[in-house]
Structure 1
Amino acid sequence: MSDAILCRFEAARSIVRDAADLAMSMRPASGGPTGTQKSAQDWLTEADGAVEALISTRIGALFPQDGFQGEEEGRTRTGRLRWVVDPIDGTSNFARGRNRWCVSLGLLEDDLPVAGIIQAPALNETYTAVRGRGAFLNGRPIHASPVDDTRSAMIEMGWSNRVPAGVFEDKVATMLRLGAMPRSGGSGALALADVACGRLDGYLEMVINIWDVAAALVILDEAGARTSPFVRDGGLERGITILAAAPRIADDLAAALDVPLA
């Protein structure tokens, strides 16, 4: 990986730490929820805008030639290198003072995810990866699960109000028929990170956006997980399906859930 990417990655680690500290300082007390409800189970808090603005400003000052895209403001700058941020992934958890949320920042070179940082400050966890250099949790190497039987698997599925009625239930029923244990934790980025480090054996979400997965895609690749072809199938421009899985059950899981793998 080029020196330019590594330089950006090191700068981004510091920026994400500051952004996570800001988010923690703005986290509501337990209870709630606190914030604005955009649609069913889709929340927006003051911290979402503040964290995104901090990251955008700092990235823009250091690398003005780079593109930038955020969940809240959209694509505000263009460039061959593009930063993509989800300022608070898991906002429904954050809005209730829960711990399972994160700041997610990914870097793309053209259409290729090349670096990613996912920081979950309430959990004291930071996932990082640069393409070709491995994936890490708090500085220690991580790898996808060695599970080779779906009857031993733990699979998470994300919920979205953009999915037709019945689809969530049907996919969870398929997981149960495989003998897997379903879960749902409220943060797509952290669920994908859990697949990368082996805490989960798979994650499925039927409609998810690039800001939710930009950092996770390179972390998953570097950890040896398998994923559906998110970028190839149009995920840079619209919300689409993602499946990430431990390599030894990936084919069986993809076939049962009717999701192609890359």
Structure 2
Amino acid sequence: MGGDGIERRLHLAEEIIREAGKLARAYFENRHSLTIETKGAQDFVSRADKETEALIVSRLGLECPQDGILGEEGGRYDSKGHGDAGHSVWVIDPIDGTANFLRGIPFWCISMALVHEGRLELGLIYDPMHDELFAGRRGHGAKRNGQPMRVTGAGDFRQGNIGLGYGHTLPRELHVGAIDALLLKGCEYRRLGSGALGLAYVADGRLDGFYESRLNSWDVLGGLLLVSEAGGRQNDFLANDGLNRGNPVLATTPAFYDPLARLVGLA
């Protein structure tokens, strides 16, 4: 796929993610009528997640039938064209931060990423509640509503602020240990409930880093592209089949990466 094909997909994804955001926000404003299903401890899904994903999948299927899709709610969708579904794959999370969404907390987002030949090419995160679109293309920078983004450049833990995530399927000691290590360094932390939006905040200089001991690819790939293009560093999430199996995620302003990797056991 040439550069023109990537650029066309970026513009298409910007259009689709805004359309999906409009639908998801309508569900948010009528969330008390939603039936909630439980996938695990503190892990929820509703019609809003499923219908938002269906919209994205339908639009991508029409416009990019040769591309594969990996979605949080629907799993793998095969390519409808003649291409290999593993050649170019869209990775989508229709609502990241569903627990916030269902409780009426306006901190959730929609995430899309494009992986081409095993390399992350596009990342988009849309926050419909604040009309903020974070979008980037490999080698072309990252922007929020058209304005360039940069990571903070911070290097002193005593002035730092790190986003942390936690999933209830993992040992709590991993999360508690990360909090303790940060506090001992004089560093602040935030647990906001959306890994994707947390990564967008790293790219936009609102947080100095983000760490979670394990996430799925749909939670993080869009945000990792943004952090990279905004001048940050992150671990190789796609290693060891991270696309399908998930991995730890660490993304930070450059000076924080090595010391944080040591603190959380990734170095």
* TM-score using structure 1 length: 0.95
Return closer, same or farther for 1:33/1:93 CA change in 2, 3 Å cut-off: farther
Q: Which moved more, 1:60-69 or 1:158-167?
A: 158-167
CA RMSD, 1 decimal:
1.6
- Structure 1 counterpart of 2:77: 76
Q: Which moved more, 1:226-235 or 1:87-96?
A: 226-235
Q: Distance in 1 between matches of 2:262 and 2:34?
A: 38
Q: Distance in 2 between matches of 1:253 and 1:236?
A: 23
**Which aligned pairs between 1:1-262 and structure 2 lie closer than 5 A?**
2-28=3-29, 35-77=36-78, 78-260=85-267
Return closer, same or farther for 1:5/1:182 CA change in 2, 3 Å cut-off: same
* TM-score using structure 2 length: 0.93
Secondary structure in 2 matching 1:242: strand
Residue 30 of structure 1 contacts residue 98 of structure 1 at CA under 8 Å; is this kept in 2? Answer: no
Stretches of structure 2 lacking an aligned partner (at least 5 in a row): 79-84
Deviation at 1:79, TM superposition (A): 4.0
1:117-146 deviation digits (Å, cap 9, x = unpaired) = 100010221100011111011110001111
Residue 208 of structure 1 contacts residue 239 of structure 1 at CA under 8 Å; is this kept in 2? Answer: yes
4+ runs deviating over 6 angstroms: 30-34
Q: Distance in 2 between matches of 1:43 and 1:28?
A: 18
Deviation at 1:208, TM superposition (A): 0.1
Residue 150 of structure 1 contacts residue 253 of structure 1 at CA under 8 Å; is this kept in 2? Answer: no
Secondary structure in 2 matching 1:57: helix
Residue 154 of structure 2 contacts residue 160 of structure 2 at CA under 8 Å; is this kept in 1? Answer: yes
Deviation at 1:222, TM superposition (A): 0.4
Deviation at 1:33, TM superposition (A): 9.3
Secondary structure in 1 matching 2:166: coil
Q: Which moved more, 1:61-70 or 1:229-238?
A: 229-238
Residue 28 of structure 1 contacts residue 34 of structure 1 at CA under 8 Å; is this kept in 2? Answer: no
Residue 45 of structure 2 contacts residue 98 of structure 2 at CA under 8 Å; is this kept in 1? Answer: yes
Stretches of structure 1 lacking an aligned partner (at least 5 in a row): none
Return closer, same or farther for 1:32/1:148 CA change in 2, 3 Å cut-off: farther
Secondary structure in 1 matching 2:243: coil
Deviation at 1:34, TM superposition (A): 6.2
What is the one-letter code of the residue matched to 1:217?
Answer: L
1:123-171 deviation digits (Å, cap 9, x = unpaired) = 2211000111110111100011111111110011101012113221111
**Alignment length, in residue pairs?**
260
Return closer, same or farther for 1:150/1:233 CA change in 2, 3 Å cut-off: farther
- Aligned residues with identical type, % of pairs: 39
